[in-house]
């Protein structure tokens, strides 16, 4: 059994231990502009943390939308009549269905990205560090309905086409585990995605940050944890989150 971690204050403590700075401690606790969360001065990186806490699996509005969508596929003859699955994994459906699923999944995620993009851009301006790279740290802490591969697809597509102040994103969790296929052991994810246009946050930094975060969590929890890391979406087709086991 492990303890449930409050991600934001825990990650704040981790960033300071790593050598980063909290923007709120650099400017003020009540800034007059939309600010990002962290500055890694040595690495010239401004980072914003977003935590996904809504459990859309049990959200009535989401259930209604996906129920209507699923029934429309049956009515249109795209899929055969069957019971609606607990998880709508896009790879299991035709391309037409995948696009319609993403139309439901994308807007709430892109709202988070839009805000993070603004926060990173405005923080760089205010601190006079226009050359700094923008890093989005997005943590899943309760959203079981959106498959990891679908979320990563949305993130890749959005930062490439719309949100240019975000150079790189990291998708991770502290409480929700995935299964390592080879060993069937639970592991915490640390997935890195970039635009690949030469302006990415250096990989040596995101790897170092991920390694340090894993060590920090092990000491915090007092137990050994495996980490599931990736720099792309290949091989992630069958991954889903487990319900967290906490005390």
In a domain? residue 165: yes
pLDDT of residue 244: 45
CB 22 within 8 A of CB 127: no
Q: Average of pLDDT values for 217-232?
A: 73
User: At 70, which helix (H) or strand (E)?
Assistant: helix 60-75
Is residue 97 within 8 Å of residue 90, measured between CB atoms?
A: yes
Residue 200: pLDDT band (50, 70, 90) is very high
Question: Is residue 247 in some structural domain?
Answer: no
Structure-token pair, residue 153? 């697809």
Q: Which two tokens stand for residue 50?
A: 């977003």
Identify the sign of the CA torsion 116, 121, 124, 125. negative
Q: Confirm whether 149 is domain-assigned.
A: yes
- Establish if 86 belongs to a structural domain: no
Per-residue pLDDT, averaged over 8-19, amounts to 96
pLDDT at 105: 72
| 192 contacts 235 by C-beta, under 8 angstroms | no
Quote the domain boundaries for residue 30.
7-57+107-230
Mean pLDDT of 151-165: 86
Q: Which residues of 130-146 are buried (b: 16+ CB within 10 A; e: fewer)?
A: eebbbbbbbbbbbbbbb
Percent of the chain predicted with pLDDT > 90? 36
Please report the pLDDT score of residue 179 as a whole number: 66
Instruction: Identify whether 116 is part of a domain.
Output: yes
Do the domain assignments include residue 70?
Answer: no
Residues 187, 177 contacting (CB under 8 angstroms)? yes
pLDDT number for residue 91: 61
The answer to the question of residue 155 being in a domain is yes
Domain count, the chain: 1
Structure tokens belonging to residue 77:
């003859």
Model confidence, pTM: 0.81
Specify the pLDDT at position 198.
79
* Residue 26 to residue 28: CA distance in whole angstroms: 6
CB-CB contact of 34 with 46 (8 Å): no
Residue 88 lies in a domain: no
- The model's confidence at residue 11, banded by pLDDT at 50, 70 and 90, is very high
- Tens of pLDDT, residue by residue over 96-138, are 777 777 777 778 888 889 999 999 999 999 999 999 999 999 9
**pLDDT given at position 180:** 59
Top-confidence residue, 13 or 224: 13
Q: Which of 166, 161, 162, 169 is nearest to 191 (CA)?
A: 169
pLDDT (mean) for 143-170: 83
Greater pLDDT, 237 or 245 = 237
- Residue carrying structure tokens 């300071």: 16
pLDDT of residue 106: 77
- pLDDT, residue 150, reads 76
At 247 the pLDDT is 39
Spatial distance between the Cα atoms of 39 and 120, rounded to a whole number of angstroms: 10
Instruction: For 18-75, write each residue's pLDDT tens digit.
Output: 999 999 999 876 778 899 999 999 999 999 999 987 655 456 676 677 778 788 888 8
């Amino acid at each position: 059994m492990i303890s449930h971690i409050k991600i934001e204050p825990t990650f704040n403590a981790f960033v300071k231990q790593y050598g980063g700075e909290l923007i709120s401690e650099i400017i003020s606790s009540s800034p007059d502009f939309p600010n990002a969360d962290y500055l890694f001065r040595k690495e010239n990186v401004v980072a914003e943390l977003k935590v996904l806490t809504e459990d859309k699996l049990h959200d009535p509005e989401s259930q209604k939308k996906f129920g209507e969508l699923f029934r429309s596929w049956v009515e249109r003859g795209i899929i055969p009549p069957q019971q609606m699955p607990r998880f709508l994994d896009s790879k299991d459906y035709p391309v037409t269905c995948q696009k319609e699923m993403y139309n439901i999944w994308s807007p709430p995620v892109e709202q988070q990205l839009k805000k993070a993009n603004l926060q990173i851009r405005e923080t760089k301006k205010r601190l006079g560090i226009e050359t700094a790279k923008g890093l989005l740290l997005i943590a899943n802490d309760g959203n079981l309905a959106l498959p990891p591969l679908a979320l990563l697809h949305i993130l890749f597509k959005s930062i490439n086409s719309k949100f240019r102040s975000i150079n790189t994103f990291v998708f991770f969790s502290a409480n929700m585990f995935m299964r390592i296929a080879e060993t069937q052991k639970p592991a915490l994810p640390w997935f890195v995605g970039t635009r690949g246009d030469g302006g990415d946050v250096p990989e040596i930094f995101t790897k170092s940050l991920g390694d340090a975060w894993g060590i920090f969590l092990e000491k915090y929890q007092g137990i050994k944890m495996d980490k599931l890391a990736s720099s792309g979406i290949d091989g992630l087709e069958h991954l889903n989150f487990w319900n967290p086991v906490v005390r």
